[in-house]
Amino acid sequence: CGAEYHRSTMTPGVDAADGSGEAGRSLGRNFRTVWLSVLVSSTGDGMFVTAFPLLAAMLTRDPRLIAGVTIALRLPWLLLALFTGTIADRMDKRRLLIAADLSRMVIVGALGIAVLADVATIWLLYVCAFLLTTGDTLHVNTAQALLPDIVEQPQLLQANARFASAQFAAAQFAGPPLGVAAYQAAASVPFFADAVSFAGSAALASQLPRSRRTRSDVVLGTRSSLRNDMLEAVRFVWHSPLYRAICGTLAFSNFFYFGAISLLVLYTEEHLGSGTGVYSLLFVGSAAGTVLTRWFVSGMVRSLGAARSLALPLWLWAVPLLGMVLSDSPVVAVAMMTLLGVGTGIWIAVNSTVRQAITPPHLLGRANAIYRTVSWGVVPFGAAFGGFTAHQFGLLTPFVIAGVASVPLALVGPRLFRSAAAHLH
């Protein structure tokens, strides 16, 4: 079903410094504020994304336990995303962004203290990873639901591309090298730096105008209302073939993809024979590929169409994963990660815009939560699969399986997404 977007009190501002979107129009002052908030927060995230596995690898060499970090980081998406998405549809989004940032600041700061006091354990990493992602489910669902409120509908594709490129540039381009350098200086530094980044992100979010509730007639806290809201979103997604196809495709891909990528630190050390420098470059390559998509994704969609544009990332995930197995060259590995990043950037920009176009405004937070629950909820199981597969059959086995499994999905992709063209203009 289509959707006409209402405008909250957060109307798009005019700020030439924010850059141009489609047709040379500014994406607005409020978009820039959210964009900067995500940029600051994601830079800190990138620091602990590399610091977590490095710390885990110092505590244990068991691939199953190292994969457990990825399991803990992704499990909240399976257990809590729909609930936090429902909250995002019912409350002031500005306050929710601030609350999510401040809670994560406290958690990661406490972890930094534990590392500094030399009392950190692999189990403490799991607990902190789970709590951090719990806050992330609220932040991501809220931010995704906020975009159609602050950006005009014709500019959503460009806004999603800029949003994704900023997030990945910070989390995988700037953050990881800083995280590695900070970790080498002292293991606690990346976590304290991330706490500072969350504080900065909260300060930026506080500059946003207060948004009015999408459903002000609902009283928060009544169990039946929350349940009915969740069921409403589930029914919408279930009766939308295109939404189901997008969710199912990413869930299938993520299961195998994270089965391999959760072992990237061991892949770097044991297969490439390299250290932390190459490990951080793999993240930089992935981020660079994602950032590049910002400049060509709109033209690509016009040329290929929405269905082929959604299917292309499946090839850009399959081929590089196999390439990482066939070569032990760090240069080739970085190039393959760059291609993976290009696929990720295209997927995020196009699928986010399609989902926003087919979702009624009052369901944006909850529908996005279901998408995350399904597509990211499989990640803990995929990481566990990768850890046990690598333990039994060798480190490269999860990479081979992930690459091969993606090929048949890529072949049928254009037919799966054929109705997407009606929702992108």
DSSP 314-378: HHHHHHHHHHHHH---HHHHHHHHHHHHHHHHHHHHHHHHHHHHHS-GGGHHHHHHHHHHHHHHT
Give CA 235 to chain center in angstroms. Answer: 24
Closest residue by Cα to residue 84 from 229, 190, 219, 184: 229
HEC per residue, 308-325: HHHHHHHHHHHHHHHHHH
Residues forming a β-bridge with 26? 20
Q: Give the C-alpha separation, 416 to 409, whole Å.
A: 9
Instruction: Return the pLDDT at 12.
Output: 28
Greatest mean pLDDT among 118-122, 222-226, 398-402 lies in: 398-402
Is residue 176 over pLDDT 60?
A: yes
Count Cα atoms within 13 angstroms, Cβ side, for 409: 25
Work out the widest C-alpha separation in the chain, in whole angstroms: 60
Query: What percentage of the chain carries pLDDT values higher than 90?
Result: 23
Portion of the chain with pLDDT greater than 70, in percent: 86
* Average pLDDT score over residue span 64-90: 81
User: Based on C-alpha coordinates, what's the Rg of the chain?
Assistant: 20
Q: Please state, in angstroms and rounded to a whole number, the distance separating the CA atoms of residues 27 and 17.
A: 10
Strand partners for 20: 26
Q: What gap in Å lies between CA 286 and CA 309, rounded to an integer? A: 19
What does the block give as tokens for 390?
Answer: 């690598």
- What is the pTM for the complete model shown? 0.68
Tokens 């209402």, located at residue: 6
Confidence at residue 404, expressed as pLDDT on a 0 to 100 scale: 93
Q: Which of 87, 86, 89, 93 is nearest to 9 (CA)?
A: 93
Neighbouring C-beta atoms of residue 192, cutoff 10 Å: 20
Predicted confidence band at 68 (pLDDT cuts at 50, 70, 90)?
confident
Burial of 105 (0-12, 13-18, 19+ CB in 10 A): buried
* pLDDT tens digits for range 126-154: 999 899 888 888 887 787 777 777 777 77
pLDDT at residue 113 in the model: 93
Band of the pLDDT at 26, cuts 50, 70, 90? Answer: low
Rounded distance between C-alpha atoms, residue 73 and residue 111, angstroms:
14
For the residues 189-212, what does the mean pLDDT come to? Answer: 83
Q: Would you state the pLDDT for residue 90?
A: 78
Report the SS3 class of residue 226: helix
Residue 359 has pLDDT above 50, yes or no: yes
What CA dihedral angle connects 261, 267, 271 and 272, to 10 degrees? 100
* CB-CB contact of 319 with 400 (8 Å): no
Tell me how crowded residue 11 is: count the other CB atoms within 10 A of its CB: 13
Residue of 218, 236, 224, 213 whose CA lies nearest to 149:
213
Q: Is the pLDDT reported for residue 277 higher than 50?
A: yes
Residues 213-246 have pLDDT tens digits of: 444 444 444 444 777 888 888 999 999 888 999 9
Q: Which amino acid is at 278?
A: V
Q: How many CB atoms lie within 10 A of CB 184?
A: 12
Confidence of residue 107 (pLDDT cuts 50, 70, 90): very high
Across residues 92-113, what is the average pLDDT?
90
pLDDT in tens, 409-420: 888 888 888 866
Contact 69, 54 (CB under 8 A): no
CB 277 within 8 A of CB 180: yes
